Amino acid sequence: MLRTHTCGELRLSDKGKTVTLCGWVQRIRDKGKLLWIDLRDRYGITQITLEEGVAHSQLFEIARKINREFVLQVVGTVEERISKNDKIATGDIEIRPTQIVILNPAKLPPFLIEDDTDGGDDLRMKYRYLDLRRNVVRNNLILRHRMAIAVRNYLDKLQFVEVETPVLIKSTPEGARDFVVPSRMNPGEFYALPQSPQTFKQLLMVSGFDRYYQIVKCFRDEDLRADRQPEFTQIDCEMSFVTQEDILDTFEGLIRYLFKEIKGIELPAFPRITYADAMKYYGNDKPDLRFDMKICDLTDLARGKGFQVFDSAEVVLAICAKGCADYTRKQLDELTEWVRRPQIGMKGLVWVKWSNDGLKSSVDKFYSPDDLEKWAIRSQAQQGDLLLLLSGPEKTTRKAMSELRLEMGERLGFRKKDNYKALWVVDFPLLEWDEEANRWNAMHHPFTSAKSEDISFLETNPAAVRANAYDMVINGVEVGGGSIRIHDRAMQEKMFELLGLSPQEAKLKFGFLMEAFEYGAPPHGGIAFGFDRLCALFGGADSIRDFIAFPKNNHGRDVMIDSPSEISQEQLKELHIAVTFVKQT
């Protein structure tokens, strides 16, 4: 090797050793008689010191040609430093060089390779290989690596087998648009990239693999957000001969193991909450349980007192912000503006303060202190608290209330990144009505089974049918989800029919799976975790981008390699594709 040690490993105990280090120049300081080079690699930084009269003058000559990010090889002896630096692990020593070799010069990087960089997002993405030299980003990827190893260790111990499934497949119904790949050998035909390995993992259960997992790339052509990428990674898992309970146990175990191994945190058993309760109390199916502030329904108490807004509302909902009775007029006006923003879409906000002088509200004209007291009691408010009320149609009001709850949680400092609250949301509805398409959609995916006690409603009241489906939620983020599957051909056919697929279409798209069900399919179920999201959560970040080595930007572009890009006429011809571009204005 070109080096004997890394830039992060030498200590005072190595004093006197002759060593060879390789790395990049982090910084160079030239004081004339003394010159220092900070040499950096993945492992740390070591100071190289040249002193006039001690170091050969040729070394000074070489050193004065060096700039930031040059790649060097340095041979020298380890010496004790006079002024020590307790901020770095090698801060007690320095290298007195006898030889400096410039392995490769470097252009000045377009942004600072420091923890706090001056590079904006676009620049960092274009020069991602330089961005990856920064500690913060590199540490995220190392965290990701450690998480992947821990996942494999845990699942391996439980006899899970990692199997690779194909990337060139046909459409998988996870509800997003497919990325497609034209087939040269089959004119006019296309592969689809997997939105998940769903059907393959089910086929592996038919094959008797019993326990499968894969850390696998999935592809979904959706509009992008901070926590979405067109290609992302799942920890995809499937088990045979299990109940929902077994799956929840096994994978709660996985996540608790990860928290223990990676963060040294012992999480308590995960509470379970039904989808119906999650919607009722938190207005959303991925509740943030780092704080309570449940949504309380005041509709019956609030109606019938002459306040037109509440009288005409489908629901009147409240949350109680503990200790906020001292909110000023200005703060309340500002909150009212906040709920009126188009993203929230409410017309107004009603408040009730319970201060030392009793209960006071923005609707005192219509409600007596007795009325307000009833609201307060139901919302479990106490003196010193503030009630915030929204009203309107049920669905939109619950959603808005969920946002307001999160906002208040944020303002009150309840959403600390290093406080982890995990839970399971269970009993999801099997189907959801698609207004636009005027038909039922599978809420999870079409392979999810219905609760046996609800199957009889499939014909009469599909909306009431609950699925054997579950999500794991941590701090308001859905980190994983899955279901117990249908493993019976007739039932699967019925499900496709319910979803508006003709028998011909069902056969064309999923005939292979239904056929497999006729050759001895075991009862099975599984789950998939969003690995990028899980890593971001462990790393205390909101965006998954810096946990992916080479991510795409918000337009789905890789700005470093400049992709997607056009392909040549020859390639298009070979692929039997005639392209007419319609320029969008």
Applying CB under 6 A, which residues contact ligand ASP? 174, 196, 198, 481-483, 526-528
Nearer to ligand ASP, 26 or 233 (CB): 233
Tell me which residue of 147, 134, 143, 140 sits closest to 42, measured CA to CA: 134
**CA–CA distance, 30 with 555 (Å, rounded to integer):** 45
Phi, psi of 499 (to 5 degrees): -85, 10
User: Smallest gap, in angstroms, from Cβ of residue 468 to ligand ASP?
Assistant: 11
* Greatest pairwise CA separation for the chain in angstroms: 94
Nearer to ligand ASP, 174 or 277 (CB): 174
User: Smallest gap, in angstroms, from Cβ of residue 554 to ligand ASP?
Assistant: 22
**CA–CA distance, 435 with 428 (Å, rounded to integer):** 19
Start-to-end C-alpha separation, the chain: 57
**CA–CA distance, 22 with 37 (Å, rounded to integer):** 12
User: Smallest gap, in angstroms, from Cβ of residue 423 to ligand ASP?
Assistant: 18
User: Smallest gap, in angstroms, from Cβ of residue 200 to ligand ASP?
Assistant: 10
Q: How many CB atoms sit inside 10 A of residue 181's CB?
A: 14
Nearer to ligand ASP, 130 or 527 (CB): 527
**CA–CA distance, 550 with 527 (Å, rounded to integer):** 26
User: Smallest gap, in angstroms, from Cβ of residue 166 to ligand ASP?
Assistant: 15
Nearer to ligand ASP, 26 or 196 (CB): 196
Nearer to ligand ASP, 381 or 528 (CB): 528
Nearer to ligand ASP, 409 or 482 (CB): 482
**CA–CA distance, 466 with 425 (Å, rounded to integer):** 12
User: Smallest gap, in angstroms, from Cβ of residue 508 to ligand ASP?
Assistant: 21
Q: What is the DSSP letter of 563?
A: B
Core vs surface per residue 446-462: b (16+ CB within 10 A) or e: bbbbbbeebeebbeeeb
Nearer to ligand ASP, 37 or 486 (CB): 486
User: Smallest gap, in angstroms, from Cβ of residue 72 to ligand ASP?
Assistant: 47
3-class secondary structure, 39: strand
Tell me which residue of 474, 488, 478 sits closest to 519, measured CA to CA: 488
User: Smallest gap, in angstroms, from Cβ of residue 71 to ligand ASP?
Assistant: 43
**CA–CA distance, 156 with 134 (Å, rounded to integer):** 33
User: Smallest gap, in angstroms, from Cβ of residue 273 to ligand ASP?
Assistant: 19
Nearer to ligand ASP, 140 or 198 (CB): 198
Q: Which neighbouring-strand residues pair with 492?
A: none
Residue 24 makes CB contacts below 8 A (sequence gap 6+) with 39, 40, 41, 69, 70, 71, 72, 106, 113, 133
Nearer to ligand ASP, 162 or 373 (CB): 162
User: Smallest gap, in angstroms, from Cβ of residue 491 to ligand ASP?
Assistant: 17
The token duo for 417 is: 């990144």
Nearer to ligand ASP, 526 or 551 (CB): 526
Residue/partner pairs of 130-139 with CB below 8 Å, 24 or more apart: 130/69, 132/549, 133/24, 133/40, 136/546, 137/546, 138/42
